[in-house]
C-alpha cells in the first residue's frame, strides 16, 4: 500500500513540475496543475505515513478525488484545446485515480484475510 502512495506522491510532484516546465500554458492551467499536484502529493504522503487505518483511507480517498479532478479539469475549466496540457492532465489524472482506487480497495479489505488470485 505504501508503494502506491509513494507513486501518487511522484505523480503529484510531476504535475507541479510540468506546470513550471511546459511552455505557453495559461494562468489557470498552471494554477490548477500546481494546486491539484500539491493536494495529490500531500495527501499521498499523508496516506503513506498515517498510523491509523481510517485516516490513511481518508487520505487515499482525497488522492482519488483529486486525481479525478485532474483528469476532468481540462474539460471543466475549458483548456481542452491545449493538447499537451490536456493529454498530460488526463493521463496523470487517470493513473492517480487507478492507483488511489487500488489503495482504497486494499485498505478496505478486512485484515488477516488473503486474496487468492486463482
pLDDT in tens, 53-79: 788 888 889 999 999 999 999 899 888
Q: Which of 11, 10, 8, 103 is nearest to 57 (CA)?
A: 103
pLDDT in tens, 13-52: 999 998 888 766 677 788 888 999 999 999 999 888 877 7
Burial class (CB in 10 A: 0-12, 13-18, 19+), 105: exposed
Please state, in angstroms and rounded to a whole number, the distance separating the CA atoms of residues 39 and 70: 11
Q: Which of 72, 25, 17 is nearest to 41 (CA)?
A: 17
Amino acid at each position: 500500500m505504501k508503494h502506491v502512495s509513494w507513486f501518487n506522491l511522484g505523480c503529484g510532484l510531476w504535475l507541479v513540475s510540468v506546470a513550471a516546465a511546459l511552455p505557453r500554458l495559461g494562468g489557470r492551467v498552471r494554477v490548477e496543475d500546481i494546486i491539484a499536484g500539491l493536494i495529490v502529493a500531500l495527501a499521498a504522503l499523508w496516506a503513506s505515513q498515517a498510523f491509523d487505518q481510517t485516516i490513511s483511507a481518508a487520505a487515499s480517498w482525497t488522492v482519488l478525488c483529486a486525481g479525478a479532478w485532474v483528469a476532468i479539469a481540462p474539460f471543466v475549466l475549458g483548456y481542452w484545446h491545449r493538447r499537451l496540457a490536456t493529454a498530460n492532465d488526463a493521463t496523470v489524472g487517470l493513473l492517480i485515480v487507478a492507483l488511489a482506487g487500488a489503495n482504497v480497495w486494499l485498505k478496505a479489505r478486512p485484515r488477516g484475510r488473503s486474496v487468492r488470485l486463482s
